[in-house]
Structure 1
């Protein structure tokens, strides 16, 4: 098989050939490039991506796996013939199961035994190394038993069985001490797993280096999509003890336009949260409606509110559209919105940034002036004047900078699954907005025109529903 232009490891090319030609993947679609190489990657919205999903749905039915978040990861794990994924960068093989320690577990090992391990050390190897360095096996067993909160009788299990219990408690039971050697990524990748493994992820996945991961929740998730909601309170709530040993999940994905607000966050184990991604389900809609009814806090950002109102009125009559058509329309609307912001930045330069900051970002600054206390539903039960330090005094400026940079980054990515699309009339309206901005028209008029443009785009997207199903 001819190689692509990417500097992929030879072991990975051999892995591709092995997987594609294995009986377990019979019927799973894959194309070839003109040079004969396999097109390993296929985005979800492409024809081949949809065919892969249909194939996996059939497999899930054969295996009696329920169609819930994580279904494709479970299907592809079951089918994988070796359970070892080869890294495209370094060629090393790691398990697709949850056998590798996170930073919290590594610190616990260091504190208990004084040894430094890495996030790519299999816990079976960690066990062996400890024994080889004369740590009593019973001490190792007790350590694992205590960390994973297992019953006392687990102490007599074999090493393999105890480690398998640890893996299952993280993959299925909500514990977060261990992660997989390769994250699930179906149907984008043919075998269902990211091409680079845990070993090279921090280097290859920009935005997910060790340093960036520490601020990912606060920066990217809070600011990237210019979300409505009390974004500072949401950040505080996500970092509270309520989410210890779990992750904070947006009931309505903010990448689909839902707000970043504490009332719309819920605890979820890492595995389910990672596999949920931007899926939308009926259960999510009904949870959102319950919170909206209870709190009177609107769940959708202004630029997608028309679509949300349609969903509220029609999801019970069109349940088959929730995870497909509704989700796709919200996603397309988000891409269009980010394109509009980027277009204004490009055409109006610093004036565009100044105006959009005034219209869309500054109204959120007030949230940063307070500190909040919460109940376990995410309701704000106490509000106090925030104490400013050298570290947080420039947070509003930082919020604006990250939001603006995220728009530029969003529009510069060439591998985005969905392209922006505006009709000629919508592009003309956008050009008029840019003219108003460049001529320093009244802020209120510019805001009105942007809102009108986004509303018209939403109406157009909704009008396509009958044609897309």
Structure 2
């Protein structure tokens, strides 16, 4: 954290540089972020001075006051005095995007973000907190590329947030030049033209940093016209730990267990997540270790197709990780008891026939593991079937499987014990806020993005037992053939375009919100839904699990 004390020499520099009074300079030297928790770094203050005078930002409305003070931020809040400048700056960004011939109109299709990265004088800027210079665009490894490179090279040399040029240097010590070129062309087809001009170099990625990639993260998020230069104050290194809005407590209000969306699970995920986030001090039920905060373990693993349920066991992190998606006999017994108490199946519909067929036949831990392995294979087949529907243009249908409407409620538990996450009862209350509506759109975006990533790894890579391989492609073809009986309407095409568009997350969620305002006619998909269930019912019926 930057010291709260303002060095006098910094103030004097500002006085000389901007020809203002000492008090004005002192005020200018201590801009704070958000709730006033952090002071701006001197490098950032100097950067602000560079930007307001740079020709790339010529004509920026209300860039400075008469006394020379930089007006770095405007507000989109209509009730604030800065709103008129927000509108003026919005128009400035529109004109700038037009002058650069960025495709689209207004702020559509990520235009402002692309423009901000194109007009950045150097492609780098300092963080307001740490003062370190970071690339403003897509230049840093995200978790997807990190895992891919470590897996492909059979090393652990690559890390999240690593600059791409450092990753290339590491690759050069492992692979030959031709292998690296082929790999980079495969990962970054959208940058091939830059590779041809500049080679597979740092400069190629610097010049193309405005191009979105599912494998790279930006050094700074964009937010034109809020900030004068179009970027958030925090760099990607500080944002997760220093941004007040991303504190663990605040994130609980809108971050939920992604796995339920990644795995397209049934169940009321809101209730389960509210319970999950209530974890407190307790004891691991496996090793007995006392914990400041338990790691809740889903009794029915989501990866095996179980529903998202308010049913957890308290574990420590290591025991939870080692247990992974494996079930024990005791887990089976807990799940069966839950069904008896609630009169509700614990399994999502795609694995329910298999669960119902074998759950009472499990006699020991080995049987429990066999059942979980087979259910995992069925869940894998389900996700690959959904991807085939997605690939063939049926995104609209797939959204009917998700339950984003659960986001519009809040949950309260009665007599909750945070040490083991048991409770007497719960209640749900409607809550229709901007944040909750945003979450409901985010759920859909995450589900589709993860579906695409899931398909990218083979059955072997996902360590799924090859149980259904012989019937796999044929059954998927049956489902797709049934789907094609539903003609692709314009609404369906609009959904497909919105989901597959290579645009910012915020813009994609905005497009999803617009599409959701028009009710989907689910009746046209009745036959397709019936076919899906029929396929999984047949597979379950023909499956013989070798139990004791």
Q: Normalized against structure 2, the TM-score is what?
A: 0.43
Q: Normalized against structure 1, the TM-score is what?
A: 0.50
Q: Select the structure of larger CA radius of gyration.
A: 2
- Relative contact order: is structure 1 or structure 2 higher (C-alpha 8 Å, sep ≥ 6)? 1
- Higher helix fraction (1 or 2): 1
